[in-house]
Amino acid sequence: MPWGYWLPRLLVGADVRTLGSGNVGATNVWRSLGFKLGIAVAVLDIDKGAAAAGLGLWLADDLVAVLGGCAAMVGHWRPLFVGFARGGKIVATTGGVGLAVAPLATLSAAGVWVAVFLVTRYASVASMAAAAALPLFALLYGASWPVLAFTSGAAVAIVVLHRGNIARLLRGQEHRMSLRRPRPTVRGGTSGAPLQSKRV
């Protein structure tokens, strides 16, 4: 369920794939269309990860929950409903899975995200820092081996999916986030340039 694609189309008639980075995720929605819409997408992406893992946990155990959560994450990365094209970077969906299988570790990692974001205003840096902290918190709180494997794998995947952001950070070209609604920008265009695309 690519909420980062569906919600902007439904509410403001925008195709987020033509805005900002072109990424179908909460961060690009936030950066391109505003804080409120970005948060709505993030909450829905968290919910789908939590639902998949929670169902697995209800039906069986941590291993099945992790497998269900991983399926939701892969579906977020390459959504069926946009023809398996590029989706989001699985941060929010990972958080949802984590809330189902390791709630204390995930809430602690969320605290890291908030702290790093407030200091840097880089969502990418906050996401990678929280991802790196997640398996450490899971170990600290005594998580089972499937959960430890999941949190470690998810951390690596999140960093790999942010490799473009890492390159922009090194070049000093990464965009900081704002709580104010920006003017949408066409993917690949100059930041702040007005969007010229049809509304559907």
Q: What angle do CA 32, 23, 133 make, to 5 degrees?
A: 100
Domain count, the chain: 1
Q: Is residue 69 part of a domain?
A: yes
What's the whole-number average pLDDT of the chain? 87
Q: Is residue 126 part of a domain?
A: yes
Q: Is residue 198 part of a domain?
A: no
Q: Is residue 11 part of a domain?
A: yes
The type of residue at 13 is G
Cα–Cα separations (whole angstroms), residue 147 to 53, 57, 144, 173, 185: 11, 12, 5, 35, 39
Q: Is residue 191 part of a domain?
A: no
Chain segment 158-183, per-residue pLDDT in tens: 999 999 999 999 998 888 877 665 55
66-75 long-range contacts, CB within 8 A, separation 24+: 66/97, 66/101, 66/146, 66/147, 66/149, 66/150, 69/93, 69/94, 69/96, 69/97, 69/100, 69/101, 69/150, 70/97, 70/150, 72/48, 72/96, 72/97, 73/49, 73/97, 73/154, 73/157, 75/1
The count of other CB atoms within 10 Å of the CB of residue 167 is 11
Chain segment 136-157, per-residue pLDDT in tens: 999 999 999 999 999 999 999 9
Domain limits at 21? 3-171
Chain segment 91-137, per-residue pLDDT in tens: 999 999 999 999 999 999 999 999 999 999 999 999 999 999 999 99
Cβ distance 30 to 177 under 8 Å?
Answer: yes
**Of 191 and 126, more confident:** 126
Q: 27: pLDDT confidence band, cut at 50, 70 and 90?
A: confident
Q: Is residue 195 part of a domain?
A: no
Q: Is residue 187 part of a domain?
A: no
Cα–Cα separations (whole angstroms), residue 180 to 37, 117, 167, 192: 11, 15, 26, 13
Q: Is residue 176 part of a domain?
A: no
